[in-house]
Every structure is written in C-alpha cells, then in structure tokens.
Amino acid sequence: MDLVGPRYIKGDGRFYSMNVIDLYSHRVFVESNRTKQDDNIAHGLLRCWKSMGLPDFLQIDNELSFRGSNRYPRSLGIVLRLCLYFGIQPVFIPVGEPWRDGTIEHFNDTYDKKFFRRQWFSSYAHLKRQSKNFQQFHNKNHRYSCLKGKTPLEFIEADKFKPLTLGPNTRMPKLNFLPDGTISLIRFIRSDRLLDIFGEKFEVSKDLVYSYVRAMIVTEIHTLQVYLSEDFVQSFEYRMPTEFN
C-alpha cells in the first residue's frame, strides 16, 4: 500500500490516492480521499479487503498516517490496530528506501501516466468515480509478464483462486484496545548501532552493524524482538498502551 499525493484538481482542491496492489495477482485497489488522515486510510482498507480479500502481510512505508503518532510512538495508530485485529502483519520498509516498494511504486507511475495525467477532471467527485473505473479497467485488461501475459482477473480465474474476503456488511470494529499480533520493521543498522523504531532508538549488538535486520513488535507480550535473517539476536521490553479513546 502507498499514498500518492497530494495531487490537485483545478478549481476543486487537493486529494490523495490510496493505492494497494496484491503481489500474487497484481489486482489493484484505488481510493481517493481529500486528506491522508489515518481514519480515512483504515476505512479504505476495510473496503479493499471486502473486494480483494485479506492479505497475510501489508507492506508499507513509514508514512505517519500508517503508524500513529510521533509524540507517542508506542501508541499504535488505527491502521496498525485494524491490521492486527484481522490477523494481518504490517511490514514497514527501511526508512528512506522507497525502491523497497518497487511493485506499488511501478503501479503509482502507471496511475500517474495512464490515469491522472491523461484525463481532465471537472471535480473531485468526477475523479473519485473515474478512479474506480480505472481500477476495474486495470484488473480486467492490464497484462503482466510476471503473470505470463495474463491480466489480474484472468490469472486468478485460471488459478481458481478464491480470496478470503470480508463480508459486504462488515463494519469498522471498535479498536479501543490493543489486538494481539506482530508488526515487522526492516531496518539498516549503521555504525552507531542504533535501531530506529518509529523515532525511538535502541542500541543493538555490534555484530549487526551494516546489516539489515527485522525488528518485530509482538504486542501480546510487549516485546521488541530483533532478527538477522531467520536468526534471533536480542529482545527489548516494549510496553504499549492497551486502551485507546
């Protein structure tokens, strides 16, 4: 998942596009919003999972709207709590390395060139309608070499894939608590040996210098676990709020 924007509609202000792509089938979900507030993103994800199905992982960058608060970094935002509630593991790419999200970045380029810059939109409402038409057109007609020339819908039909979707009447759950689950962060350790977790710094073993590690926040036991490849290296206590307003 990634956010594109802000983009601007002449005479009708700015907007952001929440773009999601399924790595298995390359189906996409596109939803426009006036702001990038976390509540909008959470509701957009709920609609996405009703149509595309529930993923095992959600790979994202370190956008503040995705994670929560700079002032209270351990107070997980609504997007993270929603993922954990449905058993989805969020995976944050390394800070400042957008190429790690190469698949969605490639689609963002397609979105810009084939949709946003190719049409004239009379209003924000017009753009929202057309973005859904673009989503449907892409999934039905865009052919990928990695899918052996098939479109996303042709690929899942040929593979007889049936995603586990949320029911159409599923409502946003009350997320005033901390669900059990795991949040992964891929981080590069420099010579200062500091592991950056949403702005907080943890000093790690010197053996990890100049290595990429996977830091895993395990909410059930309030622990931060650090892995090098598949090998467990060390852990830290990571106390989090368990109730939210």
Which residues contact residue 145 at a Cβ distance below 8 angstroms, ignoring those fewer than 6 apart? none
Q: Which helix (H) or strand (E) holds 236?
A: strand 231-237
Please provide residue 13's backbone torsions phi and psi, each rounded to the nearest 5 degrees: 75, -170
Give the tens place of pLDDT for each residue, 99-109: 787 899 999 99
**Which stretches of the chain score pLDDT less than 50?**
none
Specify the pLDDT at position 100: 83
What is the identity of the amino acid at 5? Answer: G
DSSP string of 59-81, one letter each residue: EE---HHHH--SSSTTS--HHHH
Specify the pLDDT at position 167: 94
Name the pTM for this structure.
Answer: 0.93
Specify the pLDDT at position 63: 93
Specify the pLDDT at position 38: 95
Q: How many CB atoms lie within 10 A of CB 13?
A: 11
Specify the pLDDT at position 243: 93
Specify the pLDDT at position 156: 95
Cα(191)–Cα(36) distance, rounded to whole angstroms?
35
Which tokens in the block code for residue 178? 């901390």
Q: How many CB atoms lie within 10 A of CB 242?
A: 11
Specify the pLDDT at position 116: 94
